[in-house]
Chains A and B, each alone.
Chain A
Amino acid sequence: MSSAADVLTPVPFPGGGPAAPAGGRVFTRIRGIRPAVALAVIYLAVIAVAAIAPSLLTSQDPLQVNLADSLQSPSVEYPFGTDQSGRSVYTRVIYGARESVLIGIGATAVGLGLAALLGVAAGLGGKVVDGAVNRLLEVLFSFPGLLLALFLVAIFGSGVSTQIIAVGIASAPGYARMIRGQVLQVKGADYVIASKALGHPPSRTLFKNILPNAFRPLVVLATLGVGQSIVWASALSFLGLGVAPPAPEWGAMLDAGRDYIQTAWWLTVFPGAAIVAFTLAATCIGRYLQRRIEGETY
């Protein structure tokens, strides 16, 4: 809900060029917002409610076993049907949002954090560090991401935190390459030279100019990354290496439902749809932000 409120409040419109009237910013309400973006915002708002207070959206218990109602197809009482233990799939999808979103955001944060360390070190550390980091990244790249995640799960055992770390590490090399490129580009920019010519110490230039500008495109990339991470984490859960069975989590639900895929489609379709929709929504908003941010300064 908070995200919806943020986006729908009036935002400063990036007035382009000298034509912007005196007095600085022009405020305008988003009217021409595309329906897809609005839909994505609404969906993410619902997911946010589900993650924070799932009981607002369902009165049932996600773990309530009711064998009499097992494997019911979708109905008014059970909008998404029930699973083999008679638990409401709808309730479980709602309750699963918290873990899935946590994994998505957590894994992206871990991935970006790691990537930031590696990328900035490579971009600023000179030839030797850059070479070392690049070799490391190449090794990581040559592993398929999922395989790397599997490897880490095998070492640390399954569970939500392992899942977050595993997916985070697997996604780090891509971000790291990008950050390195950004840092290299910004490092040579005229305004960085201007900062040096003003006699500012390198630390000041680093924190005030280089890092903010290098990370700017990553704001958007991170939104795209959240959706990606959920898919990867779901894949781990699907393989039985994620959240332990009774707990609701979208990927784990897919995993549990696969045995019934021919007789009870709703067990896999609804959690699957939740993942796909979340990824689409996050991507859609990510691209929207990208257009706005890049329209502002370039």
Chain B
Amino acid sequence: MSANEPAVPGAPLLEVENLTVGFGPRGKVNQVVHGISFSLESGRCLAIVGESGSGKTVTARTLVGLTGERSQVGAGRLELNGKSLLGLSNRGWRAVRGAEIGFVLQDALVSLDPLRKVGKEIAEPLRIHGWGERSKREQKVIELLTEVGVPEPEVRARQLPHELSGGLRQRALIASAIALDPGLLVADEPTTALDVTVQAQILALLEKTKERGRGLILISHDLAVVSRLADEVAVMRLGEIVEQGPVDQILRTPQHPYTKALLDAVPAAHSKGTRLAPRVEGAYIPAGDPQLPTVVGNRQPIITAEDLVKSFRGPDGVSRTAVDHVSLEIRPGETLGIVGESGSGKTTTARIVLALADPDSGNVTLRGKPWTTLREKDRRQRRRRISVVYQDPLSSFDPRWTVRRIVDDAIADEDYKGKEQRTARVLELLGHVGIGEELLERRPLQLSGGQRQRVAIARALAPKPELIVCDEPVSALDVSIQAQVLDLLADLQAELGLAYLFISHDLGVIYHVSDRVMVMKDGKVVESGSADEVFHSPREVYTQQLLAALPRLERAEPAPKAVPA
């Protein structure tokens, strides 16, 4: 593939100078990328890191000419192997895409044609670029699937995307991107929706591509993922590169305050009791000492669950055990973290604790009194002792309601009477979560993701609960917003002595928030213990695998604290 060799030896594979991208009609262009420059050599990986709205995805799409009709792309230079990509026609881009630049999209399920067999999809770039005969192409597809580590490639090639797991779909996408062995691979959040063990496999696969001498541009919001693969890192914010340099330098001695804030926001690097985000001006500051409340004496547990079993009948009629003999206990003021990959039964466990699902056997007691065995009518007034914060706050709010009504609805009728008293209480609750009066009449859709989750927390506080069940409360949020929400939860715990049952697939988040941790797999508790025990000296093989798969900021020594005065 001579096309992939640099025209001039030693010259960069890709060179981008002063790239600007905007959208909209001429004269009213809304610019989202403001003059960024970078270059990449073969066999190296440049990671572009940023949060939503930073312009990183637009940048990736520009490199493959997929910004759409309404975009305005300008650059001093945009060259691949010394050949300019600027002003390329659609036809010209089609010749480049696939053959010289491979593109791996974020969500493999929506990026693959649902009605086309996986093998056909992978053969598509080969066909478009006129590669070989049909039978030869089919053979190549099998080779490619084998190369990306798909077991039983002949079978998989004949399946539809929805019949494959998330990890296999992502592999198929990568297979399609590297079908013609392009010299440059652009991967936009290639592992974001995947479980950590699968993520590790995909990262290893990308690493192999890099080792074969191909250039890799990796777009990610996750600094830990990046630290594993990247040689260079560019940190983007609001369409500009705020800092750029070798990965060690960026992770160890970041210069720009934004990079520092991003590194600080990574929960995995900080155990419980440390703050992730700098305090926001005017934000709620707890009156008490923000030290973590350790388990308070021998006080009676809020929740005791014994030997819970719950199974569901699948669409194929086969019964599957979602929760398999799980016992747990939550004491006042402590956080129990449940960590596990998708399908491990963690959410079902939480639903049973909340008495939103009844266990097949076993039972839960609330403050030593029956809970799951009660009739719904008798449970009702006691439900206020346990609140919930859901993963997707938007769908957990009535779309017609304003912030005021959402919070007001959760305040007990008997405790606060009259409009004035109730409004005061709503404002007090919103004050706890750092939401001002000006958002009172907004509807959920008019709030940002972080604001929504804050309102959800305010609603959870309204019934004055002893325990809040947090079901993946931060997994939909940007890392800096995630940091603020995690800090907020910690502050509230310190102030109000709340207990949390915290559920997440993210080991880093669980490590950061938990006093005690339960690792779940296939409905069973694999390991449990204090957060330190489980994370620093795991006994079980599965926990060790999970931890090994977790990309860490390995090269980053204790990140320098970046709390501005």
**Interface residues of A, Cβ cutoff 8 Å to B:** 15-18, 20, 22-25, 189-191, 193-201, 208-209, 212-213, 216, 296-298
Contacts A20-B446, A23-B438: A199 and B398 contacting too (C-beta < 8 A)?
no
Task: Find chain A residues with CB under 8 A from B395 CB.
Answer: 189-191
CB-CB under 8 A from A194, the residues of chain B are 388, 390, 396-397, 459
Which residues of chain B come closer than 8 Å to A298, judged between CB atoms?
399
Which residues of B line the A interface, CB within 8 A?
354, 356, 379-384, 386-388, 390, 392, 395-400, 409-410, 438-443, 445-448, 451, 459, 463
Contact of A208 among B396, B409, B445 (CB under 8 A): B409
Distance, CA A193 to CA B392, complexed state (A):
13
The answer to whether A190 touches B390 (Cβ under 8 A) is yes
Q: With A and B bound together, what is the CA distance between A195 and B448 in angstroms? A: 22
- Contact of A16 with B446 in the complex, beta carbons under 8 Å: yes
Chain B's closest residue to A192 (CB) is B398
Q: Which of B384, B439, B445, B447 interacts with A199 by CB under 8 Å?
A: B384
Top 7 closest A-B pairs, CB basis? A199-B383, A18-B448, A24-B441, A190-B395, A22-B438, A190-B396, A297-B399
CA distance A120 to B360 in the complex (A): 31
A190 contacts B392, C-beta separation under 8 Å: yes
Contact A213 B446 (CB under 8 A): no
With both beta carbons as reference points, the residue of chain A lying nearest to B451 in the complex is identified as: A18
Residues of chain A within 8 A of B386, CB atoms compared: 197
- Asked whether, in the complex, the Cβ of B445 is within 8 Å of the Cβ of A297, the reply is yes
Contacts of A24 in B (CB 8 A): 438-442
In the complex, the answer to whether A199 meets B463 with C-beta atoms within 8 Å is: yes
The reply to whether B446 and A198 form a contact with Cβ atoms under 8 Å apart is no
A194 → B minimal CB distance (Å): 5
How far in angstroms is the closest Cβ of chain A from B382?
Answer: 7
**Are A199's CB and B399's CB within 8 A?**
no
Residues B409 and A18 in contact, CB atoms below 8 Å apart: no
Q: Is the CB of A213 within 8 A of B400?
A: yes
Query: How long is the Cα–Cα vector from A24 to B392 in the complex, in angstroms?
Result: 23
The minimal Cβ–Cβ distance linking A212 to chain B, given in whole angstroms, is 6
A178 to B443, CA, bound (A): 26
Output the least CB separation between A217 and chain B (Å): 12
CB distance from B358 to the nearest CB of A (A): 13
A212 contacts across to B, CB distance below 8 A: 400
Known interface pairs A18-B446, A190-B390, A194-B388; A201-B380 also in contact (CB < 8 Å): yes
Q: Could you write out 21 A-B pairs with CB less than 8 Å apart?
A: A18-B451, A20-B442, A190-B390, A190-B395, A191-B398, A193-B396, A194-B388, A194-B396, A194-B459, A195-B409, A196-B356, A197-B383, A197-B387, A198-B409, A198-B463, A199-B382, A200-B380, A200-B409, A201-B380, A208-B409, A297-B399
Query: In the complex, which residue of chain A has the Cβ closest to the Cβ of B392?
Result: A190
Taking A18-B448, A23-B438, A199-B379 as known contacts, 19 extra A-B pairs with beta carbons closer than 8 A to each other, sorted by chain A number, are A20-B446, A22-B439, A24-B441, A24-B442, A190-B390, A190-B395, A191-B396, A191-B397, A194-B388, A194-B390, A194-B396, A195-B409, A196-B356, A197-B383, A199-B380, A200-B380, A213-B399, A216-B400, A298-B399
B399 to chain A, nearest CB (A): 4
Q: How far is the CA of A80 from the CA of B354 in the complex (A)?
A: 70
Shortest B184–chain A CB gap in Å is 35
Q: In the bound complex, what is the Cα–Cα distance between A255 and B223 (angstroms)?
A: 77
Bound Cα distance A17, B383 (Å):
33
Tell me the smallest distance from the CB of A150 to a CB of chain B, in Å: 41
In the bound assembly, the distance between CA atoms of A195 and B387 in angstroms comes to 11
A22 to B390, CA, bound (A): 26
